[in-house]
Amino acid sequence: MTDTTTTPPEIGGIGHSVKRVEDARLIEGQGNFLDDIVLPGMLHMALVRSPVAHARINGIDTEAATAVDGVLAVVTGELMDQHGLAWMPTLSGDTQAVLATDKVRYQGQEVAAVIATDPYAAADGAELVDVDYEMLDAITTPQQSLADGAALIRDEKEGQTDNLAYTWETGDEAATDAAFAAADRVVSLTTHYPRSHPSPLETCGIVADVNSVTGQATIYMTSQAPHAHRTLFALVAGLPEQNIRIVSPDIGGGFGNKVPIYPGYVVATAASLLIGQPVKWVETRTGNLISTGFGRDYYMTGELALTNEGRIQAMRVDMLSDQGAFYSDAQPTRYRAGLFHVCTGSYDFPHAHIKCRGAFTNKAPGGVAYRCSFRITEASYLIERLMQTAADELGIDPAELRLRNFIQPEQFPYETATGFVYDSGDYPTALRKALDAAGYDELRAEQAAARAEGRLVGIGIAHFTEAVGAGPAHTYDIAGLKMIDSAELRVHPTGKAILKLGVKTQGQGHETTFAQIVAEETGIPATDIKVIHGDTDDTPYGLGTYASRSTPVGGAATAMVARKIADKARHIAAHLLEAAPEDIERDADKFHVAGSPDQAVSIQDAAFAAYTNLPEGMEYGLEDVTYYNPPNLTFPYGSYVVVVDVDPETGVWKVRRMVALDDCGVRINPMIVEGQIHGGLTEGFAMSSMQWITFDDDGNCIGSNFMDYLVPTAWETPRFELLETVTPSPHHPIGAKGIGESATVGSPAAFVNAVVDALAHLGVRNIDMPVLPDRVWEAIDSAGG
Amino acid sequence: MLPAQFDYVAASSVEEAIAAKAEGGDETRFLAGGQSLLPMMKLRFATPSKLVDINRIAGLDAIEHHNGHLRVGALVRHADIAASDAVSGAVASAAPWISDPLVRNLGTLCGSVAHCDPEGDWNSVLLATGADVIAQGPSGSRSIAIGDFVQDFFTNSLNDDEMVTAVHIPVPSGRSGGSYQKLERKVGDYATVGVAAHLELAADGTISAAGVAMTSVAPINRKATEAEALLVGNAPTAELFAEAGAAAAAAADPRDDVRGSARWKRQVVAAFTGRALAAAAEQAQA
Amino acid sequence: MEITVNINGTDHTADVEPRLLLVDHIRTGAGLTGTHIGCDTTSCGVCTVLVDGTPVKSCTMLAVQADGRSVTTVEGLKTADGLHPVQQAFSDEHGLQCGFCTPAMMLVGAALIDENPAPSDDEVRWAISGNLCRCTGYMNIVKAIQSAAAAAASSNGDS
Ligand SMILES: Cc1cc2nc3c(=O)[nH]c(=O)nc-3n(C[C@H](O)[C@H](O)[C@H](O)COP(=O)(O)OP(=O)(O)OC[C@H]3O[C@@H](n4cnc5c(N)ncnc54)[C@H](O)[C@@H]3O)c2cc1C
Ligand code: FES
Ligand code: FES
């Protein structure tokens, strides 16, 4: 492991595997998750959801439900409409029904809500709400949706005459086409990145407590972005922003699922306002899987133009995304398919062109960045699968093909064909290191021997580059809010500190790592720093935690505010040492006069002096705030190698080894970084092997609970071997790039490439995810294997 | 997801349980491990008016050898079977693959048998081994051959006032072996394909009795009778087992679904039948 | 129905509806919120508690079934001597991230090492295969349970 520490363990700055602060409460069952919150007089809400995918609502009979013992109210779309709240804006500028008034447009859509004194009574009431549905044909694929004569799903939307949700394109079409026309070889791949769901183990929920007398709305909710949510609540519900307090308590995993605002939140808040009592709503697992933000669902055709030697000349992509009934992707405004244009990957070529259309269908809306920075998972998957295809078609070893095309270390900063400026990297070293660890040459020899015996062994490679940490204000905003982030640091007279963040942890360990950044920059021991986050009344503004932006943006803000504090402390130290501030140097934990290490003042002494003994003209106190507008994104990368054994009789495949090298720049806490990688690799394995949401022809969701939506257990999950290189980001204050999502982004292609590689000699070039055993067996069988 | 209201009685004897069940009739259900019934009630797929909890009845939790068979009482949990030294063959082989470790700590074999879920594993094992279900009613006990007990999916042949008190699995006196092969997508998943095989060998090494039954590839757990007929009287060879596999695949009636194509499932039945028989033969020959 | 359930050594008597799930009795009735709920289909295991020492999913057991029995939840793991070895090991080995699955994982781990003082990687994975974790990829959970087993074995050896 690379040692990047500069502080002693007592200080626990960057590079130390400091044990997590948050563990103490969680291992004793003292976490405070949303469902643990109980307020006096709190009521419970259950949602009534549509059992069908597309139908007109002719009426809703709430009489029997209202008569149930304990039921106080049944809320319908009609009632919400009276308050102007039947519809709400989405994060992509569309509108979404809060409670359906005209039609239901997907199975699971919210139709009514029952408010009762306890959850059992609310469930009884929900059973008895009688909705009169007039069935309409369901449109279940984007291809059907855009076909001539398809019924209009969004008939309520002014100006909408077809089912097209958006179109987007980028890159130089003419130059790309010219490169393709001139190419020796063109390879192409058509594949579907299936719909997946983040499904954190804690579902979404809210406790809304609106005081009708004071107008104060205290809203506890499972939110990855409490500040942004406060602003959106203010805009949607018309409540004054200063009276809204969003508290995001301990979060049982987010992965993008807890970024959007869901109808249940709005209804519970409205109900609390109308009834004058707190209202709790905790989603069922089924509700979570069938109605809240899914990820992916892109149909992609990618092409590479190559020379005979395998040098890429250009890339062309045509895509169609299935948006569901409402266009509600959580993504930067300017980009309709997120940051998909990072699909040029780790390779040096001049031209690319990407076209994308999105279609409405009778499925749940969503389009969240499921453990990824906005469509980067799809982009990375496409290029890395295309590299495998090109290797197989051109008969070049897939590792060699990548080495021939990599952006070279000396080319950084490197501007890609689609306009990203990659900050830093050394791709050849990373790939070679991963191949060596896996024993690549021996594996290829073994593969050849196995094939001779009729056994199937596959070796899959993926070398991905991510674009994370959105983002610079000139380019990135969500719903108009610039994607900056903040940190506020207060050092108290005894030298203990409180750090307040605009970002919000969901298990990533911010309470530990952000304290380490401050420890590094100030010398205050990490254990003396309390990190506060998630409460909008008590923290500075920020856009939240998703898209791996906490460390790149919030972490940078933390480093910068700590530097401001350290600088003021240096001035105070100069005053105490009766020296000029320019002559003061800082060690890990003290200030001293240059050349005289004995004449020293600790950060704690300086903190005390900030409240007791200041130089003339200096303001009292030792606290500050920084709003950080990053100059660029950061670009973590990695090289993954997977080895699989495939059973030719059944198509069942097993991962024999998974070697994962990640370069995320400087690692603040190596232990936590590794934990993030383990988790991400597992989700990548899940998507490639079993985890997806599909629908039958009537639009019924298959994958609506954990019996059908498969999350792997410890038994199926491969063992992972981790490696690293460290290439700091030159523009980030501490050189860190972000790691929360790399492994989810990079690993699916590695797993799929491995299975395809096992069958490559039979002529198999693609198997769509999830790579189910029947798909593998059918591929073998139809190849005549 | 929370269950609807119901009445609840905890019976302290089989007689009391049967009486309580008889009184409530069709709308009353026994509660054993609750690992099938309670999930269905939470989803409100089942809304019984009364539950008769049999968990407090003494003497139903034994696994014992008795008159040439293995007797598994109504409160024997899947985990008890997986941990038991008394079991062997297909029964021992299947037990660890039923659902997951926590569900196995509560769910019972008899409950599973009574439930008649075509995706349940135990009924295939019982069909392959030729087990009997012991049902007790107000006027005494009767023994029902497993093939007669399983009527249809989620339908058994118990009368409204009968309870399963045990299952009797024959224990051959000669050389025998058995195996259960299950393809599941992950732990806790029901079988995509399951095949139970049971073989008995005559003194000359030929197969004297054979049982093959399949899970999740027909509307109910299905015995592969043609495959069984092919096996009996012949020497256990790889070719024979492949033939039996093909016969079992032909007898299967799988559907295309999210788990995979019907064509592929038949292929897996063939492969698994061969593997289960080979494992059974190896055990019998050991 | 009136029931008395011993939870972590204390009797809790309450008048409950037969349909009340044990998990709700623990969380709402006894106010012990370390036991979580994560699914509707008995699949995730975050509701795991020990009933008379055996790990079960408390979302799939009625509170009335626990009448007269003893239940251990995460809040009952710590003793007067301090943290249970699994608790310490989960923190030391970074066996948790969001912590939502953690109480269940620790209880299963504790029950496992009671029976098997030195479980292998496979044995741990098998034992926790009724419990999902969405964050950790299980690597460090396995490590934590094994290291707790080693710690428990060495402290038993001392005494
Ligand atoms: C997540 C999960 C995964 C599972 N995976 C599998 C699997 O892979 N394979 C598999 O085979 N099973 C699986 N199961 C089901 C499990 O094995 C159940 O334990 C079993 O099906 C039912 O047994 P039980 O004792 O829990 O019965 P209960 O749920 O109590 O009862 C089931 C039905 O049988 C009736 N009944 C129970 N006992 C008797 C009796 N003695 N006499 C008459 N009627 C009775 C009940 O009234 C009820 O109608 C799974 C369950 C879950 C929750
Ligand atoms: S809550 Fe998921 S198994 Fe109990
Ligand atoms: S730590 Fe988050 S689910 Fe396990």
The tokens of A502 are what? 């605009």
Given a cut of 60, is residue C158 above it in pLDDT?
Answer: no
- Tell me, yes or no, if A224 is annotated catalytic: yes
**Does C110 lie in the same domain as C45?**
no
Cβ-Cβ contacts under 8 Å, A674 against chain C:
94
**Does C153 lie in the same domain as C102?**
yes
**Does A334 lie in the same domain as A395?**
yes
**Does C52 lie in the same domain as C100?**
no
Within-domain flag for A739: yes
Within-domain flag for B18: yes
**Does A513 lie in the same domain as A367?**
no
**Does A228 lie in the same domain as A85?**
yes
Given a cut of 50, is residue C159 above it in pLDDT?
Answer: no
- Tell me, yes or no, if A508 is annotated catalytic: no
Nearest protein CA to atom 15 of ligand 1, as residue? B36
Between the CA of residue A273 and those of A44, A238, A268, A381, B68, what are the distances in Å? Answer: 14, 13, 9, 46, 71
Given a cut of 60, is residue A354 above it in pLDDT?
Answer: yes
Phi/psi of residue C76, each to 5°?
-100, 5
Distance from B272 to chain A by nearest Cα, in Å? 9
**Does A525 lie in the same domain as A508?**
yes
Given a cut of 70, is residue A208 above it in pLDDT?
Answer: yes
CATH classification of the domain holding C122 = 1.10.150.120
Nearest CA in chain C to B7: C18
Percent of chain A at pLDDT exceeding 70: 99
The mean per-residue pLDDT over the stretch A738-764 comes to 96
User: For chain A, what's the residue count?
Assistant: 785
Q: What is the pLDDT of residues B24-81, one digit of tens each?
A: 888 999 999 999 999 999 999 999 999 999 999 999 999 999 899 999 999 999 999 9
The single residue of A204, A343, A372, A701 carrying the catalytic annotation is: A372
Nearest by CB to A720, from C78, C94, C139: name it.
C139
Where residue A2 falls among pLDDT bands split at 50, 70, 90?
low
The single residue of A107, A224, A447, A691 carrying the catalytic annotation is: A224
Asked if B105 has any chain C CB less than 8 Å from its own CB, the reply is: yes
The mean per-residue pLDDT over the stretch A656-672 comes to 97
**Does A725 lie in the same domain as A608?**
no
Given a cut of 50, is residue A1 above it in pLDDT?
Answer: no
The mean per-residue pLDDT over the stretch A523-538 comes to 97
Distance from C57 to chain A by nearest Cα, in Å? 15
CA atoms within 13 A on the CB side of A622: 34
User: For chain C, what's the residue count?
Assistant: 159
The mean per-residue pLDDT over the stretch A304-332 comes to 96
Contact C134 A201 (CB under 8 A): yes
Give me chain A's average pLDDT, please.
96
Best of C3, C19, C22, C47 to mutate (most B CBs within 10 Å, chain B)? C19
**Does A688 lie in the same domain as A573?**
no
Contact B217, B245 (CB under 8 A): no
Within-domain flag for B218: yes
The mean per-residue pLDDT over the stretch A408-414 comes to 98
Q: How far is CA B182 from the centre of its chain?
A: 13
Neighbours of A144 (CB within 10 A): 17
Where residue A613 falls among pLDDT bands split at 50, 70, 90?
very high
DSSP type of residue C62: B
**Does B77 lie in the same domain as B30?**
no
Distance from C102 to chain B by nearest Cα, in Å? 16
**Does C45 lie in the same domain as C101?**
no
Contact C132 A675 (CB under 8 A): no
Atom of ligand 2 minimally distant from the CA of C36: 1
**Does B260 lie in the same domain as B225?**
yes
Interface of B with A in 155-184 (CB under 8 A): 183
- Please tell me if the CB atom of residue A201 comes closer than 6 angstroms to any atom of ligand 3: yes
**Which residues in C8-111 belong to E strands, given as ranges?**
10-15, 48-51, 54-57, 70-72
Within-domain flag for A197: no
- Please tell me if the CB atom of residue C131 comes closer than 6 angstroms to any atom of ligand 3: no
Between the CA of residue A579 and those of A63, A106, A571, A583, what are the distances in Å? Answer: 81, 71, 9, 7
Relative to beta strand C2-7, strand C10-15 is antiparallel
Where residue A196 falls among pLDDT bands split at 50, 70, 90?
very high
Which helix (H) or strand (E) covers residue A285, if one does?
helix A285-291
The residue among C50, C76, C102 that closes a domain is: C76
Given a cut of 80, is residue A624 above it in pLDDT?
Answer: yes
Nearest CA in chain B to A776: B264
**Does C145 lie in the same domain as C100?**
yes
- Tell me the β-bridge partners of C154: none
Question: Which residue from C21, C25, C57 has its CB within 8 A of the most atoms of ligand 2, so it is best to mutate?
Answer: C57
**Does A767 lie in the same domain as A652?**
yes
The mean per-residue pLDDT over the stretch A552-581 comes to 96
Within-domain flag for B138: yes
Burial class (CB in 10 A: 0-12, 13-18, 19+), C28: middle
User: Which pLDDT score is estimated for B26?
Assistant: 84
Within-domain flag for B2: no
**Does C89 lie in the same domain as C71?**
no
| Whole-angstrom distance, CA of residue B191 vs CA of residue B215 | 7
Nearest by CB to B187, from A651, A715, A772: name it.
A715
* Amino acid identity at A381: Y
The mean per-residue pLDDT over the stretch B198-224 comes to 97
The residue among C41, C76, C111 that closes a domain is: C76
Within-domain flag for A181: no
Atom of ligand 2 minimally distant from the CA of C59: 4
Contact B283, B179 (CB under 8 A): yes
Asked if C18 has any chain B CB less than 8 Å from its own CB, the reply is: yes
Q: What is the pLDDT of residues B21-37, one digit of tens each?
A: 999 888 999 999 999 99
The mean per-residue pLDDT over the stretch B142-154 comes to 97
Higher pLDDT, A5 or A491: A491
CATH classification of the domain holding C50 = 3.10.20.30
The mean per-residue pLDDT over the stretch A432-455 comes to 97
Number of domains in chain C: 2
CATH classification of the domain holding B128 = 3.30.465.10
- Tell me, yes or no, if A371 is annotated catalytic: yes
The domain of A97 spans 34-136+203-251+258-291
Q: What is the pLDDT of residues A275-303, one digit of tens each?
A: 999 999 999 999 999 999 899 999 999 99
Within-domain flag for B221: yes
Given a cut of 70, is residue A139 above it in pLDDT?
Answer: yes
Where residue A377 falls among pLDDT bands split at 50, 70, 90?
very high
**Does A649 lie in the same domain as A623?**
no
**Does A397 lie in the same domain as A274?**
no
**Does B31 lie in the same domain as B71?**
no
Could you tell me the strand order of the sheet in which A497-501 lies? A529-532, A497-501, A485-491, A623-628
- Please tell me if the CB atom of residue C47 comes closer than 6 angstroms to any atom of ligand 2: yes
CATH classification of the domain holding A59 = 3.90.1170.50
Neighbours of B67 (CB within 10 A): 8
Within-domain flag for B1: no
Phi/psi of residue A375, each to 5°?
65, 5
Nearest protein CA to atom 4 of ligand 1, as residue? B99
| Whole-angstrom distance, CA of residue A460 vs CA of residue A450 | 16
- Please tell me if the CB atom of residue B18 comes closer than 6 angstroms to any atom of ligand 1: no
The domain of B19 spans 7-53
The tokens of A258 are what? 């807890």
The mean per-residue pLDDT over the stretch A492-513 comes to 94
Number of domains in chain A: 3
The domain of C59 spans 2-76
* Amino acid identity at A696: D
DSSP type of residue A752: H
Burial class (CB in 10 A: 0-12, 13-18, 19+), A721: middle
Distance from A774 to chain B by nearest Cα, in Å? 5
Contact C38 A285 (CB under 8 A): yes
Give exposure, B191-230, as e/b (b: 16+ Cβ within 10 Å): bbbbbbbbbbbeeeeebbbbbbbbbbbbebbbbbebbbeb
Nearest by CB to A27, from C39, C87, C140: name it.
C87
- DSSP 3-state assignment of A381? helix
**Does A753 lie in the same domain as A773?**
yes
**Does B138 lie in the same domain as B228?**
no
| Angle, in degrees to the nearest 10, between helices A742-759 and A376-394 | 30
Contact A679, C137 (CB under 8 A): yes
The single residue of A110, A336, A741, A765 carrying the catalytic annotation is: A741
Contact B102 C131 (CB under 8 A): yes
**Does A619 lie in the same domain as A490?**
yes
Within-domain flag for A743: yes
The residue among C48, C76, C104 that closes a domain is: C76
Cβ-Cβ contacts under 8 Å, B8 against chain C:
1, 18, 62, 64
**Does C91 lie in the same domain as C66?**
no
**A741 Cβ neighbours under 8 A, 6+ residues apart:** A371, A372, A373, A376, A377, A466, A468, A547, A548, A680
Is the omega angle on the peptide bond into residue A770 within 30 degrees of 0, that is, cis? yes
User: Which pLDDT score is estimated for A113?
Assistant: 98
The residue among B170, B198, B223 that closes a domain is: B170
The mean per-residue pLDDT over the stretch A215-221 comes to 96
CATH classification of the domain holding B28 = 3.30.43.10
Number of domains in chain B: 3
The mean per-residue pLDDT over the stretch A680-695 comes to 97
User: Which pLDDT score is estimated for A3?
Assistant: 66
Give counts: helices (H), strands (E), chain B. 11, 14
Which helix (H) or strand (E) covers residue A520, if one does?
helix A510-522
Between the CA of residue A379 and those of A464, A465, A643, A745, B148, what are the distances in Å? Answer: 10, 10, 23, 9, 56
**Does C96 lie in the same domain as C54?**
no
Within-domain flag for B58: no
Given a cut of 70, is residue A785 above it in pLDDT?
Answer: no
CATH classification of the domain holding A555 = 3.30.365.10
Nearest by CB to C125, from A31, A506, A715: name it.
A715
| Whole-angstrom distance, CA of residue B124 vs CA of residue A410 | 65
**Does A375 lie in the same domain as A317?**
yes
